[in-house]
Amino acid sequence: MRGVLQMAAEKAGWGKPLAAEHYHGIACFGCFSSYMAEVVEISMENAQPRVHRVVGVIDCGQVINPAILEQQIQGGVIYALANALRAKITIDKGRVVQGNFDDYEPIRMNEAPVVEAYFVQSTEVPTGAGEPPVPPLASALCNAVFAATKKRVRVLPVVS
């Protein structure tokens, strides 16, 4: 885990100057013998985070198809970002209220950040890559919001 955390920080330029009013957050996660770290770069617009860039690094053993792994990381990041920012399921009288993308809104193309995907070179047996990109995103996003506002986010979704 330390290796992916250090590599993500390095690839994202952690500690180096960012664009004006841009902030970083970082988090890591491990499951299925894989380790994932992500750095999220945001700015605040109308008191809400705008995600500009996500750098993700995974150690999932030997990579069989780098292009598919990159796509898996990008898809996991976008899925997690939608859920962290605004997606929620509510129940009213035992039924789900949301029925389509007009009330369960995914990340739109104009909102999608640049997602950079990296992986650790390894000769170890391949492990899981589907779930690891999802969990660290919300934590990294909330850490970036804290860097920008000095206020902790304790409830998801971030945007109400």
Q: State percent of the chain over pLDDT 90.
A: 88
Return the structure tokens found at 21.
């009013």
Which among 16, 5, 128 is positioned nearest to 57, based on CA atoms? 5
Q: Is it the case that residue 138 has pLDDT exceeding 70?
A: yes
- Say what the pLDDT of residue 160 is: 63
> Which run of H or E residues covers position 57?
strand 48-59
Helices (H), the chain: 2-12, 66-85, 135-149
- The mean pLDDT value for 7-24 works out to 97
Domains in the chain, please, with CATH? 2-149 (3.30.365.10)
Confidence of residue 106 (pLDDT cuts 50, 70, 90): confident
**Confidence band, pLDDT 50/70/90 cuts, at residue 61:** very high
In this predicted structure, what is the pLDDT of residue 103? Answer: 82
Q: What is the pTM of this model?
A: 0.92
φ/ψ of 23, rounded to 5, equals: -140, 150
Position 157 scores a pLDDT of: 92
